[in-house]
C-alpha cells in the first residue's frame, strides 16, 4: 500500500479541523491541532500542503509571509484551482459540497511566487560546460517565508490512500513512456559534445598550419628573423637524461622510431653553395599535442625534405610529417602517440646522416572524451525510490506522489572521487525525466568543470503529491589511452 504519511525535516504538516470533528493525524491517533505550519519558497520553487476531506463543509486558509508577492492556490476535485495573489497575506475559503467528495477526497494548498509560472518548465536534457555553467547552475535563494493555517472538515485516510495509489500508478506509466526519449537525448548530447571538441581542435590546427606555411614562405622569399620562443639547441657537449647527445645528434644507441610522413617538394630560397650541418635556432611554440603544427627556424635544413623527429617519451623517438620544407624553415606536425602522459621532450632535424642538436619541446598527449556515470560515491536524500521508478529507469527518483508533505534537499555525487593522470571534468550532462509529477523540479547547483574533481550537487524540490526523476553524468577528458583512476 502506498505510504502517504512521512516526516520531513523542512515541513511539519498540521491538519486543523472544525471543532466539532477531529481528524486522523499522521500518527494514526485522533488529534485537534491549531498551530500554523511553516513554509519557505526559494527561486523557482513552490510549497504545497495536502489534506483529506471526506465530508462537506468549509475550508478556510490563512497565509502570512515576508518576501515577494505570492499566489496561494487551492486545488482538489475542482474544475479549476481557486487562486488569490497578494503581498504579505492571503485569506482563501471554499465550501466543500457532496459532489466534491464523490469526485475525490485529496486536496492541496500551494504557494508560489507571483512571477513564476503555475508549473515549472524544465529542459529534457542540458549540457553544462565552461561557457554556460553560469546560467545553468542554479542556486536556490529564499524569496519568501511564513506560515499557513488550514481548517477543513475531517477526512478518511483509507479512501485517500486508494486515490493516491492510483495517482502513483499514473506517474509510473508516464515514466515508462518517456524514458527512452530522455536516454536518447542524453546520448546525443554526449556525442554532440565529442564532435564539437574534435571539430574545434581540427579547425584550430588547420588554421594554424596555413598561417605557419604562409609565414615560412614569406620568410624564404624575403629573409627575415622568425618570431618565436628562442630555445637554445643542446649540442654535443651537453649531457642529457634520459639519453645522451653526441656531436652528430642522438647517440647511436638511441632507438629511432617511425611514424607516418610524406615527402614535400623543395620550396623557398635556393640551397646554399656550401651544405652546413642542420641547426635549430627557435620554434614557433614550445609545446604541442598530436596534430599541432610547429614552425622550426634555423639553417642547413637543405632544399630537399629531410626528417623531423620528436622525442615524446623516454626511449620514444617518432618521425613527424613535414608540411613545408626549406633551408631555413620547416613546418612539421607533432606525431601521434597514445597511452603516455605529458613529457618534457625534444625535437631535432635530420638530413641524411647529419642531425641537429635537440631543442626542448613539451609533448602534450591527445585528449579523449569519456562519460562517467553515477557510482556508489553518492549521497541521495529521502524520499528516494530504489525499487520502483528508480530501479526501472536507472535514474535518481524522488518519489512523493503519495505524500501529503513537500520535500526539498540536495543530492551529492563524487564527493570522495578524484580524477588522476591529467584527467579533468569537461562538462555535465543533466536530464530531467518527462515524468515530473505535480509541482517539482531539479537542477545542477554546483560542479567543478575544468578541475580533477567530478563533484556534482543537484538541488531538487517537490511539493505535496509530486515527484521528480533525473539523470546526471559527467564528460571527462584526459590523455588518450591513460586511465583516469
What is the per-residue pLDDT for 477? 94
At the topology level, CATH places domain 234-357 in Immunoglobulin-like (2.60.40)
What is the per-residue pLDDT for 221? 72
What is the per-residue pLDDT for 440? 87
Per DSSP, the three-state class of 447 is strand
- The domain segmentation of the chain, as residue ranges, is 234-357
> 10-residue block means of pLDDT along the chain (485 residues)?
32 31 31 66 90 93 96 93 95 96 92 79 65 65 93 88 74 62 72 84 90 86 48 39 33 36 38 72 95 95 94 96 94 94 96 94 93 92 76 75 85 97 93 70 92 95 86 92 94
Cβ pair 462, 435 in contact under 8 A: no
For residue 384, give the C-alpha cell: 528516494
What is the per-residue pLDDT for 379? 96
First-to-final CA distance of the chain = 44
Task: Give the pLDDT confidence of 186-225 residue by residue, as tens digits.
Answer: 677 778 887 888 898 899 989 999 999 898 888 877 644 4
Show contacts of 1-4: CB within 8 Å, 24+ apart: 1/161, 1/165, 2/161, 2/164, 2/165, 2/168, 2/402, 3/402, 3/403, 4/157, 4/160, 4/161, 4/164, 4/402, 4/403, 4/404
What is the per-residue pLDDT for 177? 61
For residue 319, give the C-alpha cell: 618521425
Per DSSP, the three-state class of 267 is coil
Q: Please list, residue by residue across 21-32, b when 16 or more beta carbons sit within 10 angstroms of its beta carbon and e when fewer do.
A: eebbbbeeeeee
Task: Give the pLDDT confidence of 73-105 residue by residue, as tens digits.
Answer: 999 999 999 999 999 999 999 999 999 999 999
For residue 194, give the C-alpha cell: 565529442
Amino acid at each position: 500500500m502506498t505510504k502517504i504519511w512521512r516526516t520531513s525535516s523542512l515541513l511539519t504538516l498540521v491538519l486543523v479541523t472544525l471543532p466539532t470533528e477531529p481528524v486522523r493525524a499522521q500518527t494514526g491517533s485522533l488529534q485537534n491541532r491549531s498551530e500554523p505550519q511553516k513554509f519557505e519558497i526559494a527561486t523557482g520553487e513552490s510549497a504545497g500542503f495536502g489534506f483529506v476531506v471526506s465530508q462537506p463543509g468549509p475550508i478556510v486558509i490563512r497565509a502570512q509571509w515576508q518576501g515577494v508577492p505570492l499566489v496561494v492556490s487551492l486545488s482538489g476535485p475542482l474544475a479549476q484551482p481557486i487562486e488569490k495573489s497578494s503581498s504579505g497575506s492571503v485569506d482563501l475559503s471554499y465550501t466543500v459540497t457532496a459532489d466534491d467528495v464523490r469526485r475525490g477526497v485529496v486536496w492541496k494548498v500551494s504557494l508560489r511566487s507571483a512571477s513564476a509560472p503555475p508549473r515549472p518548465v524544465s529542459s529534457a536534457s542540458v549540457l553544462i560546460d565552461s561557457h554556460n555553467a553560469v546560467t545553468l547552475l542554479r542556486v536556490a535563494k529564499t524569496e519568501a517565508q511564513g506560515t499557513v493555517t488550514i481548517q477543513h472538515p475531517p477526512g478518511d485516510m483509507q479512501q485517500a490512500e486508494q486515490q493516491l495509489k492510483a495517482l502513483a500508478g499514473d506517474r509510473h506509466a508516464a515514466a515508462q513512456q518517456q524514458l527512452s526519449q530522455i536516454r536518447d537525448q542524453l546520448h546525443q548530447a554526449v556525442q554532440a559534445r565529442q564532435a564539437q571538441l574534435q571539430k574545434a581542435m581540427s579547425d584550430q590546427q588547420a588554421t594554424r598550419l596555413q598561417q605557419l606555411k604562409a609565414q615560412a614562405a614569406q620568410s624564404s622569399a624575403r629573409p627575415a628573423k622568425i618570431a618565436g620562443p628562442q630555445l637554445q639547441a643542446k649540442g654535443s657537449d651537453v649531457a642529457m637524461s634520459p639519453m645522451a647527445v653526441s656531436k652528430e645528434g642522438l647517440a647511436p644507441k638511441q632507438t629511432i622510431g617511425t611514424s607516418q610522413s610524406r615527402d614535400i617538394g623543395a620550396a623557398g630560397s635556393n640551397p646554399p653553395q656550401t651544405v652546413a650541418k642542420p641547426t635549430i635556432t627557435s620554434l614557433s611554440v614550445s609545446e604541442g599535442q598530436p596534430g599541432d603544427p610547429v614552425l622550426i627556424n634555423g639553417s642547413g635544413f637543405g632544399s630537399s625534405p629531410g626528417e623531423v623527429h620528436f622525442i615524446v617519451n623516454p626511449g620514444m623517438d617518432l618521425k613527424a610529417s613535414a608540411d613545408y620544407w626549406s633551408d631555413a624553415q620547416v613546418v612539421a606536425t607533432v606525431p601521434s602517440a597514445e597511452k603516455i602522459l605529458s613529457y618534457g621532450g625534444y625535437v631535432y632535424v635530420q638530413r641524411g646522416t647529419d642531425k641537429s642538436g635537440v631543442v626542448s619541446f613539451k609533448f602534450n598527449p591527445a585528449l579523449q572524451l569519456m562519460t562517467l556515470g553515477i557510482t556508489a560515491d553518492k549521497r541521495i536524500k529521502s524520499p528516494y525510490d530504489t525499487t520502483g521508478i528508480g530501479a526501472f529507469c536507472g535514474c535518481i527518483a524522488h518519489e512523493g506522489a503519495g505524500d501529503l508533505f513537500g520535500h526539498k534537499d540536495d543530492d551529492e555525487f563524487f564527493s570522495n572521487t578524484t580524477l588522476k593522470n591529467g584527467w579533468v571534468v569537461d562538462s555535465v550532462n543533466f536530464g530531467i525525466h518527462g515524468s515530473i509529477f505535480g509541482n517539482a523540479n531539479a537542477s545542477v547547483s554546483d560542479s567543478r568543470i575544468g578541475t580533477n574533481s567530478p563533484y556534482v550537487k543537484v538541488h531538487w524540490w517537490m511539493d505535496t503529491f509530486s515527484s521528480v526523476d533525473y539523470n546526471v553524468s559527467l564528460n571527462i577528458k584526459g590523455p588518450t589511452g591513460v586511465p583516469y583512476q
